[in-house]
Amino acid sequence: MDKVKETTTLKVTFLFIVIAYIFNIGLRYIYVEEIGSVTQFLYNGHLMLNTNDGYYWIEGARDILHGTHQINDLSPIDSLIARFIAFTSKLFSFIDFDILIFYLPGFVSSLIVIPLVLIGRLAGSTFVGFLAALMAGIVWSLYHRTMFGYLDTDMLTVTLPTFFIWSVLFAFSSNNIKFFIITPVLELLMVSWHGGLINIAHGVLIMSIIYTYIYKKGNYDYIFFLLLLFIPLLPIAAILKIFLFIGTSIAYVRFFKEYAIESTNKRLYLFSLFGFIALYLIVIGFGYIANVLNNAYFSRDIQTTADTLHYFSVVNTVREAGHISYDTIVHRMSGSWPAFIVGVVGYIVFLVRFPLLMISLPLMVLGFFAIQGGLRFTVFAVPTLALGNAYAAYFVASLLHKKQAVIYGISLAIMSVFIYPNYQHIKSYIVPTVFTNKEVKVLEKLKTIASREDYVVTWWDYGYPIRYYADVKTLIDGGKHNGDVNYPVSYILTRAQQAAYNMAILDVYQTEYNYKNKLNTDYLKNMMQNYNLNNSSELLNLIASNKIKLPKVKEDIYLFLPNRMLDILPTVALFSNVDLQTGKIAHRPFFYQAKRFSETPQTIELGNGIRILKQNMIVQIGKNRAPIHKFTTVMYDKNGILHRQEKVIHPTSNVNVIYMPNFNRILVLNDELYNSTYIQLYVLENYDRDLFEPVILTPLVKVFKVKK
């Protein structure tokens, strides 16, 4: 590292790791201090998770620990993360499970300080690695996805690649094949942990090939090393990869190692290297490149199934996959523009002075995929930019002074300037838990009513926590939400009650039928085939007109209707307002929710240019005016009993207003959504007693059972 170089003992290196780890953990406790006393976020006295996906993994861990898994419940008992959580729970059995799952992501993800400190040590300055370790774990995007309560694969999706990259650097630096085996083991763990991390593995292998060609010419050991890096990428079972590791290692050491040392044939070496490159490209390389170019995150809008039906794609509604501004990218990668600019420049200079760091380029490149692919990619650039910041700070300090202690102090001061905006963000970034304790109590009650084979119909956002707390089945969830499964649920929630009732039974029947017959085909297409129909419109007309003969289902079906769904109701409606034959958005039902409004003698101001003219009871939207069909007030008394007052004002109009004083909300919606099952059952409690029966009624959540 030229002017930026110092040596440290292993004890000092360990001390740097411990300090950086404690620092990362300590800042994560700010969140606990801020929300720890908010009772609605507590379950059994402990803070709950703040990410939906976390409930998926702990469902799997719970079923592993208790042996309660059943066929078709979608519990991820075979996933590595669920097994890891279950193993950790057994290992720390003295810690309450609810406490363990809340704190686990923060304590595990903060282990990223280890490879960062060790990378600095390999590059010639452990203190540079220490400075990077102080910053990386608390930068916006990495903190967001590894904070306490955010239990997801993200707790290791950056930490494992950073360990992997360190191991490659160590292998190239050590020149000792005894240490080569560390790398493929970490690589196998990484790609097994999250399939998307194979992108980093491919990138590191490519950079390793380039580095080997430039800096390790004539050394057959590194062709052997490249082969070890290649094995985890093969599309075969993990156990077979392990056998390949062993077999390849034995073959090289016993049969080729001695010849490789003695050989000076450059042509043979180049033939071996380019032979490996050809092997990589032919076996997996070309396929990988084609897959990247056709990645789902770079295609949007309508999703077409193999059966030619067209659906609205969930990618359009996932913020993580949406386009984001450069300002957002910068802050999520470094916390501020100055830190970002210095980080990029520092990383480039670091790369020039320590060429082996080119191995880490895939992390940086993948981070900048965020420009097209959305904010989920920004997190991968964090470690490399933190190294850039640390190198720049240390390098400048070394120019200002020659004494080591002073260099440490100056570089730490500079680094503090980059760290501080991230600290400020942590203090302000207070996210709520997925569900409140009142909602969880509803699910606990439902668990005593429904069996494990029964289905709960609700939007996919709530699927995982419902399965965890109520221990039931769901039709859609955070992982199962393709167009063909979202459409029926959207239809159930946003259509009139008879149509919703019919679709609910059809959807549960088809779901069970597909499970039992191991079909992975379009649900609506299957329904059409069951009734010998050639057009989706015919099927939907039969369902809506109640002219369809429904199949028998043995499972009970429940509708879970939370107040929080009001915030996403227009999005929910989009998924079933697509013309299935053409893929065009058929129409967008009008819905507006005012959470802040004010009243004047003549109007009720709802915001965004929308107001109610009180004299004639007219809704004004910009320059357009529409008379109010129904004005309905729904109010809960002190016992939680709903009282509804509905007044018809202009019978021929299509615009309705619902006033919800308990929630300080006013809804403006057209007849279609006003008559939807969600609005009628949850907001108004106006249910068809021949179709539904109330099971649990609270102001925040209502559960209805579908009558059979």
Query: Higher pLDDT residue, 217 or 704?
Result: 704
Query: Higher pLDDT residue, 276 or 441?
Result: 441
- Alpha-carbon distance of 612 to 606, in angstroms, equals 8
Q: Treating both helix axes as pointing N-terminal to C-terminal, what angle do 126-136 and 382-400 enclose, rounded to 10 degrees?
A: 130
Tell me which range, 259-263, 362-366, 481-485, is most confidently predicted by mean pLDDT: 362-366
Q: What are phi and psi of 659, to 5 degrees?
A: -105, 125
pLDDT at 264 over 70: no
Q: Residue 408 has which token pair?
A: 């440490």
| Each residue's pLDDT tens digit, 686-700 | 999 999 999 999 999
The confidence score (pLDDT) of residue 148 equals 98
For residue 384, which of 168, 110, 166, 180 has the smallest C-alpha distance? 166
Q: Residue 100 has which token pair?
A: 């363990």
For residue 472, which of 510, 501, 445, 498 has the smallest C-alpha distance? 445
- Alpha-carbon distance of 79 to 18, in angstroms, equals 30
pLDDT at 69 over 80: no
Mean pLDDT of 179-208: 94
DSSP 463-480: HHHHHHHH--EES--SS-
Tell me which range, 176-180, 323-327, 702-706, is most confidently predicted by mean pLDDT: 702-706
Q: Per-residue confidence at 432, pLDDT binned at 50, 70, 90?
A: very high
Reduce the secondary structure of 529-574 to three states and give it as a string. Answer: HHCCCCCHHHHHHHHHHCCCCCCCCCCCEEEEEEHHHHHHHHHHHH
For residue 50, which of 136, 146, 142, 116 has the smallest C-alpha distance? 146
Lowest mean pLDDT among 31-40, 319-328, 661-670: 319-328
The SS3 of residue 643 is strand
Q: Treating both helix axes as pointing N-terminal to C-terminal, what angle do 404-428 and 126-136 enclose, rounded to 10 degrees?
A: 10
Q: Residue 347 has which token pair?
A: 């990383």
The confidence score (pLDDT) of residue 455 equals 97
The confidence score (pLDDT) of residue 571 equals 93
pLDDT at 276 over 70: yes
- Alpha-carbon distance of 697 to 454, in angstroms, equals 19
| Each residue's pLDDT tens digit, 601-616 | 999 999 999 999 999 9
The confidence score (pLDDT) of residue 298 equals 47
The confidence score (pLDDT) of residue 296 equals 45
Q: What are phi and psi of 15, to 5 degrees?
A: -65, -40
Return mean pLDDT, the chain.
92
- Alpha-carbon distance of 156 to 502, in angstroms, equals 44
Q: What percent of the chain has pLDDT over 70?
A: 94
The confidence score (pLDDT) of residue 324 equals 83
Q: Per-residue confidence at 251, pLDDT binned at 50, 70, 90?
A: confident
**Helix-strand-coil percent breakdown of the chain, rounded to 5?**
60, 10, 30
Asked if residue 378 lies in contact with residue 319, where contact means CB atoms within 8 angstroms, the answer is no
The confidence score (pLDDT) of residue 39 equals 94
Domains of the chain, CATH where assigned: 10-48+95-428 (no CATH), 438-574 (3.40.1380.40), 591-706 (no CATH)
| Each residue's pLDDT tens digit, 285-326 | 788 777 766 664 444 445 555 457 888 877 666 555 557 899
Q: Residue 582 has which token pair?
A: 């053409």
For residue 504, which of 488, 518, 515, 520 has the smallest C-alpha distance? 488
Strands (E), 351-407: none
Determine how β-strand 557-562 pairs with β-strand 42-43: unpaired
What distance, in Å, lies between the first and last C-alpha atoms of the chain? 74
Rounded CA Rg of the chain: 29
Asked if residue 152 lies in contact with residue 54, where contact means CB atoms within 8 angstroms, the answer is yes
| Each residue's pLDDT tens digit, 520-550 | 878 899 999 999 998 899 999 999 999 999 9
Mean pLDDT of 466-494: 94
The confidence score (pLDDT) of residue 176 equals 84
Q: Residue 82 has which token pair?
A: 């669920």
Q: Residue 132 has which token pair?
A: 């990077």
Q: Per-residue confidence at 440, pLDDT binned at 50, 70, 90?
A: very high
Q: What are phi and psi of 43, to 5 degrees?
A: -130, 120
| Each residue's pLDDT tens digit, 457-471 | 999 999 999 999 999
